[in-house]
Amino acid sequence: MDADTATSLPYRAGVGVVLIDAQGRIFAAQRKDSPSAAWQMPQGGIDADEKPRKAALRELWEETGVTEDLVEFVAKTKGWITYDLPPDLLGHVWGGKYRGQRQKWFLFRFLGRDDQIDIETEHPEFSEWKWVTADEMLAAIVPFKRALYAEVIAQFRDHLA
């Protein structure tokens, strides 16, 4: 796909979740569908007629098994934050209909125990998970999402380890 076609495509509406433990460390998980290290935070699309916060809680549950009663809402990003797909993924991800995503991010504090996190969900996306610092999360994210993650972390920095 050429650059002009890519820039004419819309952004997919999505959400992301920064799940932190009592020490302010971030939940990070290794994607199952990546041959190389691809650690990320829970994130995904917003369904039709779904509010962003509801979508964030749904994505959190679908990807980690963590239910709404195990988290406390802390903050959300100001406005939407975008990222563009790299050229090798354009035209392949999301049926080639989007150039990237515009996301609203939510910060939730995990109130449960680690054994209540279950990434072996109905449609598992992750092979393993761990708690990391903000700097470790930035170092582990795929390069095309790094600026987005940096902005999210900057907005939530006061709550992070």
pLDDT tens for 27-37 read 999 999 877 78
What is the share, in percent, of the chain residues with pLDDT greater than 70?
97
Cβ contacts of 8 within 8 Å, gap of 6 or more: none
- Smallest CA-to-CA distance from 157 within 143, 142, 141, 137 is with 137
pLDDT of residue 109: 98
pTM greater than 0.85? yes
Q: Compute the mean pLDDT over every residue in the chain, rounded to the nearest whole number.
A: 94
pLDDT of residue 92: 81
Token pair in block for residue 67: 């239910």
pLDDT of residue 50: 97
State pLDDT tens for residues 111-141.
Answer: 999 999 999 999 999 999 999 999 999 999 9
> Residue 154 carries which side chain, given as an amino acid letter?
A
Q: Inform me whether the pLDDT recorded for 5 exceeds 80.
A: no
Strands 11-20 and 100-110: parallel
pLDDT of residue 4: 64
Q: Inform me whether the pLDDT recorded for 86 exceeds 70.
A: yes
pLDDT of residue 47: 95
